[in-house]
Structure 1
Amino acid sequence: MADILSQGEIDALLSALSTGEMDADELKKEETEKKVKVYDFKRALRFSKDQIRSLSRIHENFARLLTTFFSAQLRTFVQISVASVDQLPYEEFIRSIPKMTILNVFEPYPLDGRIMMEVNPNVAYAMLDRLLGGKGVSVNKIENLTEIETRIMSQLFQRTLESFQDAWSSIIELDPIMEEIEVNPQFVQMVSPNETVVVISLSITIAETSGMINICLPHVVLEEVLPKLSIHYWMQEKKKQRKPEEKQLIENRVQQAPLLIQTELGRSDITIQEFLMLGTGDVISLNQKINKPLLVSIGGIPKYYAQPGKTKNQIAVQVTDVIEEGENDE
């Protein structure tokens, strides 16, 4: 969309043309010339703007889910938000993160390949300190992690994959599995160095500690679901949700669902010995008076009062009243 000039800018432009400071013929020549845009093949832009916006929207939801999850687990103030979404070569991403950090590598089944979640050591150790009963102080000791500390952090980040799965549920049903936890980026080679990846940077604050969580999504992993990340797919999905025939189909299926209806004739308390001695012709005395209505339950929940009778030589009941909510709490 072309920029709209203000009245002052229009007057200045007309003044420059009239005084000869600008040449109208040169302006026309510049417009007709082919515009050349520099393109770096090492930084191939393989994701469209629509797809980047969709990924940003998905991970904004992921950030909200993570905020709730970490707040409950760490029992302290946690704030997470999407800071940036960029596409760049995998090699450049590896160079941009610390030499020693927390790298969670997981497989997003059924998609092929692996995804990485890099957690800044300051944030990771603040989480660990809170889980172990501390105030959330970050002490960087990443080079000598104990087996217990590694196990605790691995279990914590394994559970974050449930939030990741929920955030992506509108696009694809994922079943992510934690593959490994590493501290040295040089030991993790998910894709080739020149492979394009999308890096979603999440800004996280835990009590007094703040840092970043970076999620690395390789193009080869997302290639299968890229069509679903376009704006056309989202619009089509919204239209599908508004179809009246789908609502009618659900109503029809609900109406055809079977319900268990039971009518209670009465109750009686007998001993095991009396139960074992029962025979043909014995009479069991019930607590139900003949002039009182019977209780009708739907799915085990009392709903109606009824009176017994017959219809076409079959035992039946006739509903006489509806039980109001809370009237027959037992």
Structure 2
Amino acid sequence: MAEVLSQSQIDALLNAARSGEMDLVASAEKTTEKKYRKYDFYSPRKFTKDRMKMISGIFENYTRVINSRINGLLHTTCEISVESVEEQRYYEFSNALTEGDVLVLADVQFAHNQQAEEQPVLLHFSTSLMLSMMDRLMGGEGDVDPALPAGYNFTDLELKLYESIVKDLISVLGGSWENYIDLSFGVRRMETNPTLVQLIGLDETVVIIGINIQFSNCSGQMNFCLPGSMLSAIFARIAAANQAGRGAGEDNSEEILDILRDSELEISAELGRTELRLQDIYYLHSGDVIDLGHPTAQPIYLYIGGKPWFSGKMGTLSSNMAVKIGETYHNQGGRDK
């Protein structure tokens, strides 16, 4: 049954309508509506959040490695951190480059020298950061001219120094992936005009990793561009390796058991127990016999780690004293005897 309003409720409703309070309530309801993020169907996400977290963790490890290498190479201290890991289209990365920038192309190879893709990994340093690193490498303080032009072109000597620094940093990139897959990276070539690099389609999905390098008097960005096809091949191999590892669990257990079978284990046999006075022990000599008070017909115990695991009987084998195992204590109660 519909609710019937009383006269006082009707009067209050009319007064609210005349004073404009109802409009304020309606506008407040509109502002509290839940907002949803718009999904771009033109460029859908290719990698899940878990994959992006994996890439972020890999490059976090990489920053820790190159931090020590840069400090040792340039004889200074710096702070390196991963600022962003984003999935974008390649044209968003290429549009941010200028004609004077240098782009490094690096090949990635799987184990056994199997090349993953023809599309390389792209690496870009900000010009001021690289010039500061070169100056420190040559013994300077790393100061950069504040009037440095936007389209600065590196000289041939600077390009050689550029290549030397980049090769050292790229060579350790594979170690950051070793927890997931065996990869190796190497510099293919350097391009002084990024607009001529067309190895990746403009609309192809890439993952951009922005790494900030901070010196005392200079800071800049080191950006990695990972092609989506290359990452898809890497993730597929990681998934296949995980599946193979789960399927080979029984084989691994057999290998472990084979190793355990060859290991040595100390076992002690207790023939009996008795009590002696210290005076009796003092007068013991070679050839004396101690009565243990243990009949030969009763079993003795074999101890492992201080607990009885087996019972057995005394005997001889090939003129040697031996114990014949009669019972195994599988439960804890039998081991507490």
Fold similarity call, TM over 0.5: yes
Is 1:117 matched with 2:123? yes
CA shift, 1:225, in A, is 1.9
Q: Distance in 1 between matches of 2:41 and 2:96?
A: 20
CA shift, 1:179, in A, is 1.1
Q: Distance in 1 between matches of 2:55 and 2:205?
A: 15
CA shift, 1:245, in A, is 4.1
Is 1:156 matched with 2:161? no
CA shift, 1:101, in A, is 2.1
TM-score (norm 1): 0.59
Q: Name 2:100's counterpart in structure 1.
A: 100
Q: Name 1:305's counterpart in structure 2.
A: none
The question of whether the paired residues in 1 share the 8 Å contact of 2:173 and 2:184 is answered with: no
Q: Distance in 2 between matches of 1:246 and 1:207?
A: 56
Q: Name 1:91's counterpart in structure 2.
A: 91
- Which amino acid counterpart does residue 223 of structure 2 have in structure 1? N
SS of the equivalent of 2:223 reads: strand
The question of whether the paired residues in 2 share the 8 Å contact of 1:106 and 1:115 is answered with: yes
Q: Deviations over 1:168-223 (max 9, x none)?
A: 11222122121111233212223100001000100111231001111001101111
- Which amino acid counterpart does residue 129 of structure 1 have in structure 2? D
TM-score (norm 2): 0.58
- Which amino acid counterpart does residue 204 of structure 2 have in structure 1? E
SS of the equivalent of 1:204 reads: strand
Change (3 A) 1:75 1:215: same
Q: Distance in 2 between matches of 1:212 and 1:237?
A: 38
Q: Name 2:112's counterpart in structure 1.
A: none
- Which amino acid counterpart does residue 189 of structure 2 have in structure 1? E
The question of whether the paired residues in 2 share the 8 Å contact of 1:102 and 1:124 is answered with: no
> Unpaired runs of 5+ in structure 1?
1-18, 257-330
Is 1:128 matched with 2:134? yes
Which has the higher Rg, Structure 1 or Structure 2?
2
Percent identity over paired residues? 26
Is 1:69 matched with 2:80? no
Q: Distance in 2 between matches of 1:176 and 1:138?
A: 30
Q: Distance in 1 between matches of 2:157 and 2:79?
A: 27
> Unpaired runs of 5+ in structure 2?
1-20, 110-114, 265-337
The question of whether the paired residues in 2 share the 8 Å contact of 1:94 and 1:185 is answered with: yes
Q: Distance in 2 between matches of 1:117 and 1:138?
A: 21
Q: Deviations over 1:83-112 (max 9, x none)?
A: 011111000111124443232111112321
Is 1:194 matched with 2:200? no
Q: Name 2:190's counterpart in structure 1.
A: 181
SS of the equivalent of 1:163 reads: coil
Q: Deviations over 1:269-297 (max 9, x none)?
A: xxxxxxxxxxxxxxxxxxxxxxxxxxxxx
The alignment of Structure 1 onto Structure 2 pairs a total of residues equal to 228
Q: Distance in 1 between matches of 2:25 and 2:233?
A: 52
Q: Deviations over 1:108-143 (max 9, x none)?
A: 123212101111111101110011111112244774
The question of whether the paired residues in 2 share the 8 Å contact of 1:54 and 1:229 is answered with: no
Q: Distance in 1 between matches of 2:59 and 2:258?
A: 31
Q: Distance in 1 between matches of 2:263 and 2:197?
A: 55
CA shift, 1:39, in A, is 3.0
CA shift, 1:233, in A, is 8.8
